[in-house]
Amino acid sequence: MVTVAAIDDSSLQLTFVLFLTVVVITLFTALLTAPQRDEISEFYLGNRAMSPLRNGLAMCGDYLSAATLLGSTGLVALTGYDGLMYLGGTTVAWMMVLLLIAEPLHRTGKFTLGDTIALRLPRGQRPVRLALSVCILAIATLYLVAQLVGGVALLTQFTGVPSATTRTLCVAVIGTFVILYASLGGMPGATVIQIIKAVMLVVGVLFTAGWVLHHYDWNPNALLTAAADRSGNGPQFLEPGLRYGGTVSNKLDFLSLELAIVLGLAALPHVLMRLLAPRRSGVLRSSVLWAIGLVGAVCFGAGILGLGATALVGKDTIVGTDRTGNASVLLLAHELGGSLLTALLTCLAYLTLLAVAVGLTLAAASSIAHDLYSEVIRKGRASETEELTVARLSGAVIGVLGILLALVAWGANTATLAFLAFAMAASSILPTIIYTLFWRRFSAKGALLSLYGGLACSVLLVLFSPVVSSTAGSMYPDADFAWFPLQNPGIVSIPAGFFLGWLGTVLDKGRPEDSSAHEEFEVRMLVGADD
């Protein structure tokens, strides 16, 4: 971990004031716009008549986490070309959502993904809903822990390794805000913070990127030359292979990571929930287009920030402050705009992780209340008030669980945890979505096998990977039971999830679902019920 305090005290105080101001203002707005009646549709979906730009901003806010703002720019600063490919994957991921998933899912969906699957597999819906909420809970909790751990890592940039009290305080304060937003505000509250965060993120990143380019007289070639010169690697900085080169297993590891990023987005529970929010599918299409544009712009700007950090600050200082490169954006901000810009970007980073954490908590709480409690435990007989109470309570429980796990795993690497969550989503939930939408024969047994099997496969592979044991950066550096060589399980577990879904369906000898259910589903998916 880091030993040097990177940035001076005054910007920490400024950050603190700024962050609290933004959070208090948004919290008030969120509470004012919170659901006033006991209506579950308002709690789950928020304002359904929002314009495409606002929806797109909210999607962008849900998707871009602190791992992108700090981790990916750090990767660009340290490894150049490899880091830039990583940012490319972050943007390309949206293409699959736009082209295959968004509109069919929106036309067949109601509140959660479980509703879509229940429409398609009406007889076997209860076990599938249970499996789905188990998967969503696992993925959302892991991703939530990644965000909270990111908060501690960010604090480390200012104070050096924080004491146990500071750490606990930091995680507990952020966690409490998350619970307040998610449980009291519901989807309308989450939307407020997502939009504010997305606007600040887009403006902040593009403004700083413009500043970097202005420093080099808007000449990209000069920026690339300066970055290569100060990277300590010369021209190799702008060539592939600095981080993931060399052995075949390194290259496969990167491919695995890219697969998880590109395919995982389409299965992240909070993004899926956001897709159901607009009422009309035309609005949804424009919203996703806005989201792609905004995410592309932020990723493009983040690439420039990473290159600028190497060019202006130099690799030695970045590595000296934080081995993983997470400090690069803040160091760049300090170099360009002094403590004011540093404070602004730090505040932005905190807001980013807070907003993503709220989205995740809300998605997990909805899945528990709607799929698990209302449909599985109460078998569809729960009243709306009851379901809403369960949703609010489970939001609080998930928040507390996230806080406790984050306190245990505070030294873990945010980006690694986040991309494990992506890999888990892509190997358990994505096969079920794709098969439900596009495969006529898909059965409930196939869904169960791909959900549980894909989840188990990815979790087991992680347990036996270098993330957990055998290397200096892993959770148990002294033990060695890592027979799986890759950091990210995606390249094995994603095909495994798809294979298990196919296998379960083929082996299903029970009575098939009525063909009328599939027909009705297909009519709904293509023709839709709205407009």
Positions in the binding site for other proteins (CB under 8 A): 49, 51, 53-54, 81, 84-85, 88-89, 91-92, 95-96, 98-100, 220-221, 224-225, 228, 238-241, 244-245, 251, 254-255, 258-259, 262, 285, 289, 292, 296, 300, 438, 519, 522-523, 526-528, 531
Q: Are 489 and 458 in contact (CB under 8 A)?
A: yes
Based on CB atoms, which residue is closest to other proteins, 258 or 508?
Answer: 258
Least distance to other proteins from the beta carbon of 234, Å?
Answer: 11
Based on CB atoms, which residue is closest to other proteins, 122 or 240?
Answer: 240
Based on CB atoms, which residue is closest to other proteins, 205 or 344?
Answer: 205
Query: What is the token pair recorded at 180?
Result: 């307040």
Based on CB atoms, which residue is closest to other proteins, 167 or 518?
Answer: 518
Q: At what angle do helices 328-366 and 281-313 cross, to 10 degrees?
A: 150
Based on CB atoms, which residue is closest to other proteins, 53 or 161?
Answer: 53
Tell me the residue ranges of DSSP E strands in 80-224. none
Torsion of CA 244, 232, 305, 157, to 10 degrees: 90
* Half-sphere exposure for 444 (CA within 13 Å, toward CB): 21
Query: What is the token pair recorded at 298?
Result: 């932020």
* Half-sphere exposure for 210 (CA within 13 Å, toward CB): 7
Least distance to other proteins from the beta carbon of 78, Å?
Answer: 17
Least distance to other proteins from the beta carbon of 408, Å?
Answer: 34
Based on CB atoms, which residue is closest to other proteins, 91 or 125?
Answer: 91
For residue 96, give the H/E element and its range.
helix 81-96
Based on CB atoms, which residue is closest to other proteins, 320 or 528?
Answer: 528
Q: Which of 163, 155, 152, 153 is nearest to 11 (CA)?
A: 155
Least distance to other proteins from the beta carbon of 460, Å?
Answer: 25
Q: Which of 133, 131, 126, 112 is nearest to 368 (CA)?
A: 133
Q: Which of 457, 211, 435 is nearest to 344 (CA)?
A: 211
Based on CB atoms, which residue is closest to other proteins, 109 or 151?
Answer: 109
- Residues found in the chain: 531
Least distance to other proteins from the beta carbon of 338, Å?
Answer: 29
Tell me the residue ranges of DSSP E strands in 208-286. none
Query: What is the token pair recorded at 318?
Result: 């970045």
- Distance in angstroms between the alpha carbons of the first and the last residue of the chain: 55
Q: Which of 98, 116, 129 is nearest to 521 (CA)?
A: 116
Least distance to other proteins from the beta carbon of 451, Å?
Answer: 22
